[in-house]
Structure 1
Amino acid sequence: MRGGARGSELVPESALGCLRSSVALVIGGYYLISALHLLLRPSSPAETALALAVLTALLPLQFALCRWAPRPEHRVRARAGLAVQSVLVFLPPLVTQDAWLGMPGFLAGSALLILPHRSAWPVFALVVSGVVVVHTQFGAVPPAQNGGPVYMAVQAVVSGLVLYGICRLRDLAVHLSRTKDELADAAVARERLGFARSLHDLLGDKLSELSMKCELALRLITSRPAQAREELAQILQISRRASTDMRAVARGYRELLLEAECRSVRAVLTTAGVRVDMANDCGRLPLNASMLLASALREGASNVLRHSRAEYCSVTIRRRGCEVVAEMVNDGVNPADPPAAEKPSEGGLADLAERLRAAGGSLSTGRAGAGRFRLRITLPVDPAPLARPARAGTGP
């Protein structure tokens, strides 16, 4: 579950597949019932053939409308399909003088999915009213039997709302899954952008200066070779300084301070809808310890986002004598996940565990009660006097 493997997602792929299958089963089931009704009712072969042909055309159109509805780039196509569906729904009763309406409830549900809210519900009501009018005018079933027009209207309302509800649930689940991935990608992009900006600020001027001095040396190399040699010496000095600065910024990028990482983790988790309680009172730490704890905090936050459906996460970092203890506990863990999946056997946590062991520390993971997961880190530090506690990212 934790580490590099992707386990329980915020919206598991199995859940998305179940929702997609449910949409197909609901639509297919309703259309199958309608087809059986058409075959079993007393009517002429021509009328039955016409109704079945319309039903056959409506089925793939309905699947297409459900697929187009949530996509803005298919808005025009979806509205054109809705117009075609309207004709196919109300064509059979007008031609055959019969009450069968070709799934009017699904037309009402499609209107809710495709049209803006200000017009969707009026169209929904108009379709239901049309059901009552057409059934009253061409109904083969007497009004007193099976509820008459009232029964048909209620059936249209229920089937329309069922279609709308299950399609919206599927669309929201897909949107939630994509948003979670975009959140993780955005956090990575922010780090890369910050590194690129720091690199540009540090090396941009030096590279421009190198370019100008190289051009000057090229012009002087034949006419004034002594001055050209001086320029080349300066070029060598600038390039060495740039190389030193490059190594420094790369090292500084890795050496994230714990205080800054606390702020970053809080912001990322809060944006993802996770309530965060964070307490960091370990004071100032040696650089290596700060690097390791910052890496652990990043990796733990990444696992919370990627491998659970967390709503709450607590982070505590305490200094106890000659060691620092950090704990991250989150909810949203699937109780059905096997305990073996909780071992940091691969990926980011495994790499972090190796680094901690090399520094004399340890990393452990496990359940912390029903539906909760704990990441615990211990790291030895020098028994130096405590400085002012770090404030960034602390508090609820």
Structure 2
Amino acid sequence: MVKSLWIGLWLFYLSAPVTDLLRGGHSLGARLLGGLGLAAFVAWYLILVFRTARQMDTRRVLFSVAVLAAQATLLSLTLGREWLVLFVYVSISSGAALPGEISRWTVPGATALLTLTALAVPGGDAYLAGLLIPSLMGGFAMVGIRAMIRTTIELRQARATVAQLAANEERLRMARDLHDLLGHSLSLITLKSELAGRMLPDRPEAAARQVADIEQVSRQALVDVREAVSGYRRPTLPGELAGARTALTAAGILVDLPGDWAEELPEETEAALAWALREAVTNVVRHSGAKRCTVTLTVVQTLAGPVAELTVTDDGAGGPAVAGNGLTGLTERLEAVGGTLTAGPAGQRDRGGAGFRLLARAPLGSGS
């Protein structure tokens, strides 16, 4: 509808040839042939412009524009100067239907053909001045409109792509957060459930304390999941260090943790290292079979600036790192803040096992 109204605005130029058909003193045969020629011209013009949205072949469009130009030339030479206005439609249709690299030549070409025809038609030079600007400017205006429409379509497609990428990124964030949160919490719940089961029925009071701990961990896990879904979950290193001590102690693993951490870290950097600590401790509890776990947290100076290093080492079975959801998610988190993740055997065979070590590094930036 909008396109029809826009194209219809240009049809007022047909008043000159229509008036010439009615009052130009032509014979009946000339009127009939002129009317048929005008109807064919308008029909061809409308088909050409409306089918542009269907991406017609460029060669077919060029042929159609050539047919319109031939009709305009023939009608102008046979019926008079009033028909020179048809060249405006030739120029506009070429600007609207052809690609910009072609229409930049066809629009001046149609205007040049208008000039030559006007000079060949009796009295045509008097109409020429009033038709040159509409032909030239109208054609290039349609070139600009066509480019604007194409840009608008590309912009809409780009916005749709950005929205899809944002949705995918949000799903990935939620998957990472839920994996890290629930993996740690469920591992701790499993350990404490096993402890409570072994304590019953001989030590009911100790079992009751384990059950109370399970309830507390479950409630905290529910809060963490809600915060993660809402996008507000940002773990801290002090909190994760306390959680690591609780989880490792419950699993019967001797733990060596750094003292109170007072270093001020950028929020994103601290969150990435806290997630790394949580995932590393969860893997130690679930998979390592270790007897001792050591966690170190330091700030070292490098040529690129200060870097925070988190190392989690155990004396368990060790083995090569398997790039599962946890390590993959950690790598993505650290890369997002310019950090790196290294995981692999720790080489602690002298302690009864190969051991495993996870090293997370994140830059502090110049403002730290």
Same fold (TM over 0.5): no
Larger radius of gyration: 2
Report TM bin, short chain: 0.3 to 0.5
Q: Normalising by structure 1, what TM-score?
A: 0.40
Relative to the length of structure 2, the TM-score reads 0.42
